[in-house]
Amino acid sequence: MKMKAACLLCSLINNSAIADESNINYGYDKNKGEIYAVSEKGKGVLNFEENYTGNPAVSFGFFNNKPSIIVSARSLHDYTAYMTLQFKNGNFYADCLYVDIKSKQNGVASKEGLCGLNTPVSDDYMDLVEKQINDVSNNIDTVDTSYFLNGKTTYIPLILFRGKDSLIYKIYKNKSAMLNDEYQILLTDKHGQCQSYNKNTWLEYNSKAADNAHIKAEKNKDDQISLIPIVVENGKKSNDCEKYSTFKVKSDKSFFYDENKNPKNSYLIKGDNITLLSIQDDDKWCRVRYVSDKNKNTDGNMLCSELTL
């Protein structure tokens, strides 16, 4: 998805380095067209022009109590992205990039953030926003939800994250839930405990720690969104993990097949959790995604008869 943004000049001008980063005031001067960071030690500015009429629209605001460049678009994917900023060592940096998105291609929605970026903000900052949007949209678009909407499965579970002792996944309980954007986030652990979170829950990843993710609750007050860390044990105890379990491999070994339907050397074993990406018209072949313990995705073809759907 190519983002057609208006040409925005965004260059960094340092009037003076701010040594004390613990007490910095951020804001946007519309008349001067600049984002500023001010403390007792000095001021730094970032030339930036808001554009409310473009698609995407670009503005300055605050997200999770942090200064942010906000990018919103309505197209094949409706989304709002928030790039949170830090000013340190005399420079502006992108700290996190959060995306609230829904695909019009398959109806899947997502709220997720990637932190630990520590990327200097320059006049090509939109490239960073676009890359994250593309990564998220491509990921959710791999799911062809038509098999679910056509009744081949009664619900749809989508694996989001695999931890050392837990699994986080999203469920749409029925067709009506998907059409109305009503989904739940479920977390199940090795002890069989199940926690449930509503659709106003964000999953926050860290670019430096692929094996870690944080569940955060969205709070909206005075049109300002903040994210509150959730202690896993404080989630709503639920039996939905049993009623709406992930799809699994039921054969002792289920091999992946190439595009010519020849078996490959790689396989999954009984009990492995998978996301069902699509079902071919003959119902014989299923395309699945397996998430490893290092949160690496493997997509491939399997025999539907070897899966519990």
Distance in angstroms (rounded) separating the CA atoms of residues 291 and 157: 13
Helix/strand/coil for 146: helix
pTM comes to: 0.88
pLDDT in the model for residue 41: 80
Strand 119-120 relative to strand 91-103: parallel, antiparallel, unpaired? antiparallel
Structure tokens at 175: 């067709």
Q: How does DSSP assign 219-231, residue by residue? A: EEETTEEEEEE--
Q: Name residue 220's amino acid.
A: N
Splitting the chain (309 residues) into consecutive groups of 10 residues, what average pLDDT does each group show? 41 41 87 92 90 95 97 95 94 96 96 95 87 94 96 97 92 94 92 90 87 90 91 72 96 95 96 97 94 92 97
Taking alpha carbons only, the member of 148, 214, 232 closest to residue 183 is: 148
What structural domains and CATH numbers belong to the chain? 12-141 (no CATH), 246-309 (2.30.30.40)
CA distances from 270 to 44, 190, 253 (A): 57, 16, 6
Q: How does DSSP assign 149-201, residue by residue? A: HTTSSSSEEEEEEE-SSEEEEEEE-SHHHHHTT--EEEEEETT--EEEE-TTE
pLDDT in the model for residue 216: 95
pLDDT in the model for residue 191: 85
User: 241 — phi, psi (to 5°)?
Assistant: -65, -30
